[in-house]
Chains A and B, each alone.
Chain A
Amino acid sequence: KQEVTQIPAALSVPEGENLVLNCSFTDSAIYNLQWFRQDPGKGLTSLLLIQSSQREQTSGRLNASLDKSSGRSTLYIAASQPGDSATYLCAVSRGSNYKLTFGKGTLLTVNP
């Protein structure tokens, strides 16, 4: 059974810092990995999707990497802003049915 772990569970940083969120998964036979953002009481917003054949994806200040063989992914956020404060969730899918297995998330707080 696939298990997804996210470390740290919570992170508080001052504005402007670069930071890294970690995600690990137990079964490397994944189809893709997706990073999401969730604001309190809201749904999920997709940030980056990495196919299993890819090593990284970038969108603006966000960069996600994938090391499928070691079962790890990182989300790098450059020059953090208070508006980045949210819970960040990592999810992996196995096969093309896109049934995602999620981690519990990292609660990020960026202090002005």
Chain B
Amino acid sequence: DTGVSQDPRHKITKRGQNVTFRCDPISEHNRLYWYRQTLGQGPEFLTYFQNEAQLEKSRLLSDRFSAERPKGSFSTLEIQRTEQGDSAMYLCASSLVYGELFFGEGSRLTVL
């Protein structure tokens, strides 16, 4: 499969724990995006990378959130000290510059 892959697909955690999500983009894509989607809403932009550089971060990305893309390949999104309000689907997408976005299947986070 040469699409965008995300891992894990579903994570259940207790409030206060740290979680990390991984995204592997389509191999030739130099842009990578993270979005968050809550029930009944459209996805909301969190951040994006061009190669290894993080070029923009949304105000939604509080200090507890950090994203990296070492060497411009895969990316990780870490949430520290999770809160119940963090429960959502975290979607990763990739694209070429000026290209169409391709999304992964998402990582669903449930914080108890």
Contacts and interface: CB of A to CB of B under 8 A. Distances in A.
A43 B104 contact: yes
B65 interface: no
A75 interface: no
Given A97-B56, A98-B33, A104-B40, A42 B45 contact: no
Contacts of A101: 45
Of the four ranges (under 10, 10 to 19, 20 to 34, 35 or more), the interface on chain B belongs to 20 to 34
A104 B41 CA distance: 5
B7 interface: no
B103 to A, nearest CB: 4
A102 B55 CA distance: 20
A97 B102 contact: no
Contacts of A98: 31, 33, 48, 95, 101
A44 B45 contact: no
Nearest to B58: A99
A86 B26 CA distance: 25
A26 interface: no
Given A49-B100, A96-B98, A97-B48, A89 B42 contact: yes
Interface of A: 4, 34, 36, 41-46, 49, 89, 91, 96-105
9 contacts: A36-B103, A42-B105, A43-B6, A43-B91, A46-B101, A46-B102, A49-B100, A99-B48, A100-B101
